[in-house]
Amino acid sequence: MRSSCGICNTGLYADFFLLEALNIYEQNEEKLIEELCKYCKTFWAAFFLINGIGTYFNSSAYYDRYYSEKWNHYILFNGEPVIYDEETKCYKKISLIIAEDKFSDLKKENIVFFVDGNIYNFNQDNIGRFQNEKQYTRWKYGGAEINIDKNGNVEMESLITKHEFKKKQEWSKMAFLSDIEIAQQAKMEPIAEVAKKLDIDADDLELYGKYKAKVSFDLWNKVKDNKDGKLILVTAITPTPAGEGKTTTSVGLAQALAKLGKKVTLALREPSLGPVFGVKGGAAGGGYSQVVPMEDINIHFTGDFHAITSANNLLSAMVDNSVQQGNPLNIDPRKIVFKRVLDMNDRALRNVVIGLGGKPDGVPRQDGFDITVASEVMAILCLSTGIEDLKERLGNIIAAYTYDDKPVTAKELEAQGAMAMLLKDAIKPNLVQTLEHVPAFIHGGPFANIAHGCNSIMATKYGLKLADYFVTEAGFAADLGAEKFLDIKCRLAGLKPNAVVIVATIRALKMHGGVAKEDLGKVNMAALEAGIPNLEKHVENMLSFGLPVVVALNAFPTDTEEELKFIQEKCAKLGVPVVESDIWAKGGEGGIEMAEAVIKACDKENSFHYLYDEKLSPKEKIETIATKIYGADGVVFTDKAEKDLKKIHELGKDGLLICMAKTQASISDDASKKGRPTGFKLTVREVRLSAGAGFIIPITGAIMTMPGLPKRPAACSIDVDAQGKVTGLF
């Protein structure tokens, strides 16, 4: 409802009302209007609530964190007063104080309130004159005029532009709620109902509770002849601590396409358990563009990674057992190349000695662990098209070499059948939903810095056959995940993308330009100009594959129109559109403009082609990626790398594809080099063979396949209460 004032006949739509004073006043609407009208007499102003006061005090406050950190405000949240603590950077509950004198001290205090989710600070000195005959109120805010008409429409002039005003809308509600809190409040639909949107029958689902399911193998036979939908790849600029939001954008884009009436689904990578307890969060998106149930997805989910870990370590156990049991395959213990894995960050396991304790405990040798997502078994699961293909690929894994340097495969160890058995359910794609109930496949989770960085081929093929628009992502930046998606996955699966979305933020670009994280909220055009070459390079790389590109700018309330215009002008020179997205705060609604741009891009003819010919030598393929994608002047191969390449040649594996292992923090192999590095040579220190997956892995720089924990692991902030409610996950 809209309240009215008999004194000044002004209308101002406000989402929330608060006082920068010691008191918060909770009273009925009639009394509140009465008191506000008294105040209007004195200050030539009127304040109105778009909903009744009873509604206000029982709903979430809309608050912009950026502004809240400037002042010490008392505000209402879910009917309870809270205060922002500058020391802890957290919101704390306080006792409610009801003042007897009501608004008597307001002349001495500023009034702070919200219009359309934006916070404004008004005092006697900056209140403008009311224009009754025009039915709008003219205010001044930070030197800029704000015009609010009788319908609540806002026009802003001078220092604060319309763009900047729009940018700040709706951001406030996110200040109070973490990703996990938003996910926990979500009302999910039964997964069987979500599946109906893709015309999937309940009989084709294998339920894991009420909100998770795997799709059966039988479904493929029903949909394999369907026409493929449009394939949209979401990638990003080089990641920074400022954040880019690739997964969030993928989810938001799918939700926006659904709002436009499109039959859509998406496929994401499965989050690794290890990083949850180590360095980072998971991969379920953020804000109001998430997949749910978020907690399950980010922890054990349907057990896929545990199955991969078990299958991997079964082969390791069988290798050591073969050596122990008379060594019939003549395995040289010094040449066992297949490592054990664990879905946990644990640097102490990078190099271990096994088999100690005497003859019954095995043959002593040096070994090591990789993280599960870096394993060849993970890659095989993602690249397999069915059980038979899975078994074939597992059998091709080279686990060790003999004393005379002959490869020993999993097939020779007779391990592939049991390994496939352990993976028989894990190979089936997982179906969940977004916060707006868009169907989402989450299957496979390799990191793009140490693996190929894409979800499974099976999930992708299901998504393409079941929807008109299919959104998927590739890990880290376009130099890693996108290149591998296009050169490896598309080649092996026969896929042809229709468009590429490159996600960026103004904040991250300024960080590439040398700005410290704490200063990213300030306008710094020099830093933006220094950092934007990173975006330009990724755009150029994707265009080099012959694909239409859309740049999606993930919105922050500190973004300005000047900064946006600068990026638009730079990308226009490359022939690429730039659109803003506010999907973090608004979900699908905040991605409508992005979705419209992507639809246009998908309708364009493209000349998609691979970066290199697989018939080239491994060195030539590596050099092509290094020079064309990374911008290197050449490649340096260490002595070990040269020996590894010679071995690969002797095995007749030169024709395999290249899966680079490189830092995600830079386009180069040096994590400290931001922006668009030039004048460097890429160093390949060793080359690994993943014969089962079908690619060669050059190891560059200081990249590690078993991450470690930071000084304060993320696990320190994670907890669960007596009711099983998880906190601190994100």
Options 61, 236, 426, 448, the catalytic residue: 448
Cα–Cα distance for residue pair 394/389, rounded to 1 Å: 9
- Where residue 257 falls (left for φ over 0; alpha for ψ -120 to 50; beta otherwise) is alpha
Contact status, residue 221 vs residue 562, Cβ threshold 8 Å = no
Options 137, 238, 248, 705, the catalytic residue: 248
φ, ψ of residue 483 to 5 degrees: the values are: -60, -40
Contact status, residue 303 vs residue 212, Cβ threshold 8 Å = no
Cα–Cα distance for residue pair 204/215, rounded to 1 Å: 6
Cα–Cα distance for residue pair 699/696, rounded to 1 Å: 10
Q: What is the DSSP string of 496-548?
A: --SEEEEEE-HHHHHHHTT--GGGTTS--HHHHHHHHHHHHHHHHHHHTTT--
Please indicate whether residue 38 is annotated as part of the active site. no
Please indicate whether residue 71 is annotated as part of the active site. no
Options 140, 222, 280, 411, the catalytic residue: 280
Output the CA–CA distances (angstroms, integers) from residue 289 to 170, 231, 476, 667, in the order listed: 14, 20, 18, 28
Contact status, residue 488 vs residue 657, Cβ threshold 8 Å = yes
Options 441, 584, 680, 695, the catalytic residue: 584
Cα–Cα distance for residue pair 708/621, rounded to 1 Å: 31
- Where residue 640 falls (left for φ over 0; alpha for ψ -120 to 50; beta otherwise) is alpha
What is the three-state SS of 270-330? CCCHHHHHCCCCCCCEECCEEEECHHHHHCCCCCHHHHHHHHHHHHHHHHHHHHHCCCCCC
Options 246, 340, 537, 619, the catalytic residue: 246
Please indicate whether residue 246 is annotated as part of the active site. yes
Cα–Cα distance for residue pair 215/229, rounded to 1 Å: 19
Residue 371: strand, helix, or coil: strand
φ, ψ of residue 680 to 5 degrees: the values are: -130, 160
Token pair of 144, please? Answer: 């800029």
Cα–Cα distance for residue pair 384/364, rounded to 1 Å: 34
Please indicate whether residue 556 is annotated as part of the active site. yes
Please indicate whether residue 584 is annotated as part of the active site. yes
Counting Cα atoms < 13 Å in the Cβ hemisphere of 586 gives 24
Please indicate whether residue 269 is annotated as part of the active site. yes
Token pair of 60, please? Answer: 């979430």
Options 212, 230, 269, 489, the catalytic residue: 269
Please indicate whether residue 277 is annotated as part of the active site. no
Token pair of 501, please? Answer: 């979305």
Quick one: how far is CA 399 from the chain centroid?
A: 34
Options 114, 556, 695, 730, the catalytic residue: 556
The residues carrying an active-site annotation are: 246, 248, 269, 280, 448, 476, 556, 584
